[in-house]
Structure 1
Amino acid sequence: MPLNRRRLTLALAALAAIQLPAQAQDWPGGKPIRIVVPYTPGGSSDIIARAIATPLGEALKTNVIVENKPGANGNTGTDLVAKSPADGLTLLLCDVGALAITGSVYKKLPFDPGRDLRGVTMLAYSPHLLVVHPSVPANSLQELVALSKTTKLNFAVTAIGSAPHLAGIAVEKATQARWEYIPYKGGAQAIGDTVAGQTQVLMNGMLATLPHVQSGKLKVLGVSKASRVPLLAQVPTIAEQGVKGFESGTWQGVLVPAGTPAPVLAKLSAELTRIIRSPEVRERLVSQGAEVHTMSPTEFAGFFERERRNWAAVVQKGGVSLD
């Protein structure tokens, strides 16, 4: 390479190195940020999005708007973000486990989660609660299984192929229970119909479901965690009730379009981590049954790949497939 060209190349590289931190320093430059939740209002992801929106806006000196974009089992909102400009102004806050499942359940998708999206940080985890309408004459998983063999039970699921749906299939197969799955467009609708008695059984994230248990509108029969949770210390885990090793839950995290500049990604990750760990936000979530979990973008990528492999095996065993 000629000397002048080499000097020019080095100069451009040095200039880029100087400009990258400045890019993060100037971002978002007063431009509004939107957090897209690909589900209906009232679910776990929506609750967390609204908990972080105001403090994130204050930290970045801009407006942060939460937009619910439900449809196609969460794929409508996810596709919107995947195809948005990679400028850090459009965020996806969703159930990361459900996103990892999507590629195994759908034969065709308008986006590739691993290729088109990049994880910023995980935010929270909450185990699934197995709940029933109070009129259901069962007070344990064993009693529910026995009842399912003599009585028609409708099992509400947030979406076909969602983590709660696959968790329900796993319990069904392990216990030989019998119930019919009724799909919804999000956790809030599934909870609403179970509270109303239109469906009798529900598996859903603790964050959105616990308030209805505490109010007596739903009856909890089991927790899908390896150990009991302090807020429901009297409720046995599903594993304790005969489904050995059973554990599932809802992981909420934030993603951005692939190609988002590394300095912007790093700044977003740092601010979101600080906010979710702050006493006021952490205590609010913990009081509702969620555990704060944060990850760097690199850790997030590794977690997502493990979740994708694990759920692919469950999907194959359960025979779940959608066009």
Structure 2
Amino acid sequence: MTFHRTFTRRVLASLALSTAGAALLPLAAAAEQWPAKPIRLIVPYSAGGGADNAARILAQRLGAALRTQVVVDNRPGASGIIGAQAVAKADPDGYTVLYDASTFALNPLLRKMPFDAATDLVPVSLALTVPNVLVVPPNSPDADFKAFVARARAQPGKVSFASYGAGSPAHLASELLNREARTGGLHVPYKGGAPAIADVMGGHVDAYFANAGSALGYLQSGQLRALAVTSTRRMAALPQVPTIAESGIPNFEVLEWNGFFVPKGTPRPIVERLSAEVQAAVRDPQTRARLVALGADPVGGSPAEFATFIAGESRSWAQLIKANKIVAE
């Protein structure tokens, strides 16, 4: 009786292992053949924006390297959640990829999420970072960053900061400056970056932490004036503009970022291959030059490095969001 029970258990265990191995075979084969068809790169923001422009540059380079089409699919809405959810629920076969931005780390801190960003999506590679630029109207009374801070300190609640929504990187940058410089600026949220910039240019709002890529054209045309950048080193595209850190607020740094993700369960060889190709893309001189022209700093990096970066972003902003009782609109 004991012999039969033992024999039966061994047979069942062997069958279970065989079944599990058989189930893994199609995934392994698919990973070896990847990519065998076009890849859909979902950008959860509108066409023509900073993330979309960078995604299209990288999609072109990745398509050439992978010898397939990488098709950008814009899915804007709900601060990037709609597009990210579409990827989280997609088949984990390497043919649906997410190109997301800083709001990926911020959304779980501000909103109830329809998926778990920490487990349902796998970080592939950090593509680039983009500093913010503190911009003011051309006729602003503040000659430089120090004058702006002095005025904001002298008139608490009177100097206004535009943003493209509560909890947005532009909003958080202004709250961080309020904390570090004791400025007491007033937050004025808008429904998008375009109306925010328009009101700053018109002198209706005092300042705005603009994404560098979206601000460059207005700065070059003289419609806006830059006081400082939020990176720890000066931007190549704006070498004459000082950093906030060198202007009297040590260690001040705010960077928006873009990166690649795939659905949970995507075979590891595909994740590693895609990560390697992203890293090669941002090292490519032509691709790099096109990204720098957008105000970006190409980065690259492994899946583990990107995961660590996101965790750090979440921890840093969680403290500020909690202290200032910031909630999404």
TM-score (norm 1): 0.86
2:110 aligned to which of 105, 109, 122: 105
Higher Rg of the two aligned structures:
2
Match of 2:252 in 1: 246
The alignment's C-alpha RMSD in Å is: 2.8
Q: Does 1:122 align with 2:121?
A: no
Match of 2:33 in 1: 26
Kept in 2, the 8 Å contact 1:225–1:248? The answer is yes
C-alpha distance in 1 between matches for 2:322 and 2:304: 28
Kept in 2, the 8 Å contact 1:23–1:263? The answer is no
Match of 1:236 in 2: 242
Match of 2:50 in 1: 44
The Cα shift of 1:313 comes to 1.0
1:89 aligned to which of 74, 90, 95: 95
Give % identity.
38
Match of 1:319 in 2: 325
Q: Does 1:144 align with 2:152?
A: no
Q: Could you say if the C-alpha distance between residues 151 and 166 of structure 1 is closer, same or farther in structure 2, counting changes exceeding 3 Å?
A: closer
C-alpha distance in 1 between matches for 2:309 and 2:187: 32
The Cα shift of 1:98 comes to 2.4
5+ long unaligned stretches in structure 2: 1-5
Counterpart code for 1:28: P
The Cα shift of 1:16 comes to 6.9
* Alpha-carbon displacement from aligned partner over 1:282-322 (angstroms, at most 9, x marks no partner): 11222343221112112211221121111111211222123
C-alpha distance in 2 between matches for 1:100 and 1:129: 21
Count of aligned pairs: 319
1:302 aligned to which of 297, 308, 311: 308
Match of 2:183 in 1: 176
Kept in 2, the 8 Å contact 1:34–1:90? The answer is yes
Kept in 2, the 8 Å contact 1:85–1:257? The answer is yes
Kept in 2, the 8 Å contact 1:40–1:188? The answer is no
> Which shows bigger deviation, 254-263 or 198-207?
198-207
Kept in 1, the 8 Å contact 2:42–2:97? The answer is yes
SS of 1:268 mapped into structure 2:
helix
TM-score (norm 2): 0.84
Counterpart code for 1:178: G
> Which shows bigger deviation, 259-268 or 304-313?
259-268
Q: Could you say if the C-alpha distance between residues 299 and 110 of structure 1 is closer, same or farther in structure 2, counting changes exceeding 3 Å?
A: same
> Which shows bigger deviation, 139-148 or 261-270?
139-148
SS of 1:113 mapped into structure 2:
coil
